[in-house]
Amino acid sequence: MRAGTLVALVGIPAYALFMVLAAPATFIGNRAAAASGARAHFSDAQGTLWSGSMRGRYDGTGGTFTCDRIAWRLLPAKLIQARIAFDVEADCPDAQGRVQIARAWSEWEASGGSARVAGRALPAFFPMVAAWRPEGSISVTADGLRWNDREMQGPLTLEWRDAAVALSDVKPLGTYRLTAQGVGDTAKLALSTVAGAMRMTGQGELKLPGGVTFSGEARGEGANAAALEPLLNLMGPRRPDGARSIEVRIR
């Protein structure tokens, strides 16, 4: 192979990659804003695609979520594995988190991901819960999670700690854990109660690209059982054993 040909084969792709990574941080903000349907807005962008930071705001129909600092840093060693990977950190009034996120040819991967989100921030992303005015904090962990538009592989865990809602005087209701285990085009869901007066359990499936089925139950226990009745009545019909059936079908 001629030296000129070798230089072209190695140098041109390397130069192109360098030019992409040297793109200003505003490039990321513009792409993310467009992908969000103009609900996300970014400002004070500094740095490049290689390393940078910005401020963010998401205007949801149920409220606004702001982030004081979103920062990222390229992990060059991952390029050897044919992955473009970044360490990403977020510091927001109602959330903090960090994750190593990588893009391969056909999928995304999250490693060492952990975040904590205040319950009061949820209506910005899920307007249906606005009337419930959730309280407490939600922790999210993901390590070795891979996904694309059609499949998901690996674990995702959400834990709602000191959960409370405006529709009940019992505060907190408890702490609850939801796990999702990706197995191809289906993620297996499992809900359990870590502690608390309101006990909830259940299992279900999340089908990609969309659709959820879930069956479970909720019941009150201990000294606050009677006070939980109004909330339980909203969650599902009473069974002979006193528990309420929870059924979710989203197609």
**Tens digit of pLDDT for each residue in 58-74?**
998 889 999 999 999 99
Average pLDDT over residues 137-142: 97
Reduce the DSSP state of residue 11 to 3 states and report it.
helix
Q: In whole angstroms, what is the distance from residue 50 CA to residue 31 CA?
A: 16
Quick one: how far is CA 157 from the chain centroid?
10
How many residues comprise the chain?
Answer: 251
Beta strands in the chain (DSSP E): 40-47, 51-60, 63-74, 84-92, 95-103, 108-118, 135-142, 145-147, 152-164, 174-184, 186-196, 198-207, 212-220, 244-250
User: What pLDDT sits at residue 5?
Assistant: 37
User: Alpha-carbon distance 102 to 109, whole Å?
Assistant: 5
Quick check: 10 pLDDT over 60? Answer: no
Q: Write down the pLDDT at residue 78.
A: 87
What per-residue confidence (pLDDT) applies to 22? 56
Distance CA 137, CA 127 (A): 17
> Reduced to 3 states, what is the DSSP secondary structure of residue 226?
helix
Cα-flanking dihedrals φ and ψ of residue 169, to 5°? -80, -10
Q: How far apart are CA 52 and CA 44, in angstroms?
A: 10
Q: What is the pLDDT of residues 218-235, one digit of tens each?
A: 999 999 999 999 999 999
Q: Over range 118-135, report the average pLDDT.
A: 93
pLDDT interval class at 114 (50, 70, 90): very high
Residue 8 has pLDDT above 70, yes or no: no
Please state, in angstroms and rounded to a whole number, the distance separating the CA atoms of residues 170 and 227: 7
The closest alpha carbon to 228, from 161, 175, 176, 170, belongs to: 170
Q: Is the dihedral of CA 88, 90, 95, 98 positive or negative?
A: positive
Q: Is the pLDDT of residue 236 over 50?
A: yes
- pLDDT score for 92: 96
- Work out the average pLDDT over 75-99: 92
